[in-house]
Structure 1
Amino acid sequence: MKLPIFIADAFTTKAFCGNPAAVCLLENKLGEDMHQKIAQEMNLSETAFIRKLHPTDNFTQKNVSSTLTFVTLSGELRVRRGEDDIVLDFPLYPAHPQDFHEVEDLIKTAIGDTLVQDICYSPDTKNLLVRLSDTYNRSFLENLKVNTQNLLQVENTGKVKGLILTLKGESDGQARAFDFYSRYFAPWFGVAEDPVTGSTHTVLGSYWSQQLGKKNMHAFQCSHRGGELEISLRPDGRVDISGSAAIVLEGTLTA
């Protein structure tokens, strides 16, 4: 069995930055065991398997301008090609104020005595959003040592499944300043730190839109790989999250 396979770095224009993902194109359905074996062989946190639902669908079409709908295990994902990027259509999830004392042990374990300005919780995604003090800058967030190893030992009754650290943006000499920065940790799912996370920006977009009074925002996730995202809140209560992608590997998998 020979399968076309790619590795793409999402939310970046540069190879070896952004969020790496393997994409395997299928003509026929594979068993779950084979999915797992291929994902383990690729050794990436994201491996996607794309199969045509209709024989007339064309994987090689270059100029796709309409919206494509992917039926996934997490629900439908709608994607369209923008002028210079790819646009993902997500629900927008609100983040509600969270009492510090209820999550104090978790926060202290993760970031010690780092100053915190605001804490919110998203019940839809089970993400805890921790906004660091405005006295910090991007460099501080990038270099912050986060203790993810001990987070699993903190009692939280399953309420928190992901930790978002975020910081207000600043004018840092960029041609276009970033509105906010973030990092994301999910050791509860075996991910110490995710390089760039589109889904967390469904929460970050909601939070920072209220804080900044903006519907369109430019964001940067400060992992060691780093990635840029454009956030656009829509009138229908959803959010467009867009970014570029760089294909760094194209080949054939033999199984």
Structure 2
Amino acid sequence: MKIYQVDAFTDKMFSGNPAAVCILPLPKDEAWMQNVAGEMNLSETAFLIKQDDGFNLRWFTPKREVGLCGHATLASAHVLWETGILPSDKEARFFTKSGLLTAVRKDGFIELNFPSEEDRGISAPKELIEGSKVMPKYAGKNRMDYIVEVESEEIVKALNPDYELLKRLDARGVMVTSISNADGIDFVSRFFAPAYGIPEDPVTGSAHCCLGPYWKRRLNKNELTAFQASERGGFLKVRVEKDRVFISGKAVTVFCAELREH
């Protein structure tokens, strides 16, 4: 069977966030999928299997299965359209642990329709402050992650967190964000998930399910442009409508390989 490596949230190879995409002819057990994800050693590997009205989609980090992943969903839609498995004018429908997710091609981008993951304000725990090595301007938490706003983009870019301390938090990961200094960009962020085997994720679509609503409230605008300031970096367009977040980006296939089944 084929396995693809796709750089998501970019239009250039070797930037954005790489994901592996494996389209299964028949169901495979969870242990096999976890082993493949460990072998690929990317932040996420996506596994798809055809259903009558879409595709079942699961995501695995090198360590465990996750309930939501933006960049590997974008990569999956890209592969379906690029290979002709799905006509380019047809909506991609994915049945996941986070419910039905869809993707469409729009104005040269792939647009994902994801659930909003709004945070609530909290008193920052000691591990969050000491692990991120910043004093939060704001700290919050949703069902998956912590969110920390800091005073400046420079602080976000200079972050050097203590991953062992961040692992102790009761969350998938930590997003650190600030307003952007750059023209045409509303906010910047970085995302850390060492407990899931991802010290820093290059570009995190699912984190923007929280970052989008957060910056909508802060900036009073529902269409936003974001930059994730990891070493590889990536740009996202975010639109917030009620309880949905529309996340748009581009993708490019880096390679396709044959995955042996024995």
Q: TM tier, shorter chain?
A: 0.7 to 0.9
Shift of residue 62 of structure 1?
A: 6.4
Shift of residue 75 of structure 1?
A: 2.8
- Aligned partner of 2:60 in structure 1 is none
- Aligned partner of 2:130 in structure 1 is 109
Of residues 200-209 and 81-90 in structure 1, the stretch that sits farther from structure 2 once superposed is 81-90
Aligned match for 1:242, one of 240, 248, 256? 248
Aligned match for 1:253, one of 251, 256, 259? 259
- Segments of 5+ residues of structure 2 without an aligned counterpart are 56-79
Whole-angstrom CA distance in 1 between matches of 2:39 and 2:163: 25
Alignment check: 8 A CA contact 2:167 2:195 kept: yes
Return structure 1 stretches of 4+ with deviation > 4 angstroms. 55-59
Deviations 1:83-142 (A, max 9, x none): 211111111122222224xx1x12331233x343222222x33x2111001xx33x4422
Whole-angstrom CA distance in 2 between matches of 1:6 and 1:170: 36
Normalization by structure 2: what TM-score? 0.82
Deviations 1:27-82 (A, max 9, x none): 22222232223222222221111111139998624642232211124432211112
Give the alignment of 1:1-255 within 5 angstroms: 3-54=1-52, 60-61=84-85, 63-100=87-124, 103=125, 105-112=126-133, 114-122=134-142, 124-125=143-144, 127-133=145-151, 136-137=152-153, 139-153=154-168, 158=170, 160-171=171-182, 177-234=184-241, 236-255=242-261
2:251 alignment partner AA: A
Greater CA radius of gyration, 1 or 2?
1
- Segments of 5+ residues of structure 1 without an aligned counterpart are none
Alignment check: 8 A CA contact 1:71 1:77 kept: yes
Alignment check: 8 A CA contact 1:170 1:177 kept: no
Normalization by structure 1: what TM-score? 0.84
Deviations 1:235-254 (A, max 9, x none): x4211001000110123222
1:131 alignment partner AA: E
Over 3 Å counting, the alpha-carbon distance change for 1:145 and 1:55 in structure 2 is closer
Whole-angstrom CA distance in 1 between matches of 2:147 and 2:251: 26
Q: Which has the higher contact order (CA 8 A, sep 6+)?
A: 1
